[in-house]
Amino acid sequence: MSFTVSTRVQPGVRGLDPTIYVLGDGAGGSAEVWPALGFNCYRWQVQRDGQTFDLLYQAPDLFDDGRPTRSGIPVLFPFPNRIRDGHFSWQGRDYPLPRNDPAKKNAIHGFACRHPWRVVARGTDHTSAWITGVFRCSLDAPESRSLWPADHELQLTIRLGAGSLRFEAEVHNPDRVELPFGLGYHPYFRMPFTTVTAAEVCRVTVPARSFWKLEEALPTGERLPVDAACDLNKPRRLVDLNLDTVLTDLPPSSAALRERAVLNCGIGPELRVLCGAEFRELVVFTPPHRQAFCVEPYTCPTDAVNLSARGLECGWRLLPPGERWRAIVELRF
């Protein structure tokens, strides 16, 4: 394969840099990344046997209003999902956050997905094409710097391979104090992948044994065994599911990348979600429009900063000054 990286200008964009980076695999497949929309990879197409598989959902109004969390693969940092009441305390100081979830009650999905990123590298080799972007709060979202205990930087390489899309994250603490954080991705997988397949045949499998009990979309702190509503250990039809659930207690594995979910649309290959051990939770979510299904790898559950303050072990991470932390998620078709 002859991999490529190119740019194009998206017409009709308002208020954001319209430059789109296109990664090509030389065989008709591609991935498109919009740095100005939180470094969102909003399109991934694979060609197999003369057929195009469109794997990511793109909202019809994506370029009209630039909503960053309704299409493609939003990057959730320095926290994924909600923080209760848009408030937490850290080392004796209170931090109020924008209450920007749909109910306008809680903070949601961090800062990185809502701000333009800087492209710092791009390239190709004989197995992949890639683009690397950087988000640093003090530089790229200075109005949000006072909302978090430490400055924070996320460098992300999105790498297109032959039938794969890989997210190589490196979190850096450039501050002189400890950085608390969580990282998540919010893929909207298009269901079905092709126009010749019915949505009724699409299925999902996730080998999770437990879930976090939620009240008004926030964890109570209790974890329960999966029940009939959210047990995905065997393939389940997507049309039968209505979920917004934080799954956990995934099986251990000695592999560097562990298979955490499988999506099957009845024709063509399966789409597999693989994660490093750092990603201990998966949120499964059925958007109201039901044209997509979300399988979201998280390093911690919803409201982890407040769960951690209650003494609950939940994957909330602390990064010392000057240190770096790395983790990988890979999608394979």
Q: How many CB atoms lie within 10 A of CB 106?
A: 23
Q: Distance (Å, rounded) from C-alpha 59 to C-alpha 71?
A: 6
Q: How far apart are CA 25 and CA 82, in angstroms?
A: 36
Q: Two tokens at 192?
A: 């079905």
Read off the pLDDT of residues 231-275 as tens digits, 9 standing for 90 and up. 999 999 999 999 999 999 999 988 999 999 999 998 779 999 999
Q: pLDDT digit string (tens) for 137-176?
A: 999 999 999 999 999 999 999 999 999 999 999 999 999 9
- The tens digit of pLDDT for each residue in 174-204 reads 999 999 999 999 999 999 998 878 889 999 9
DSSP code string of 300-333: S-TTHHHHHHTT-----EEE-TT-EEEEEEEEE-
pTM comes to 0.97
Neighbouring-strand partners of residue 265? none
Domains of the chain: 4-332 (2.70.98.10)
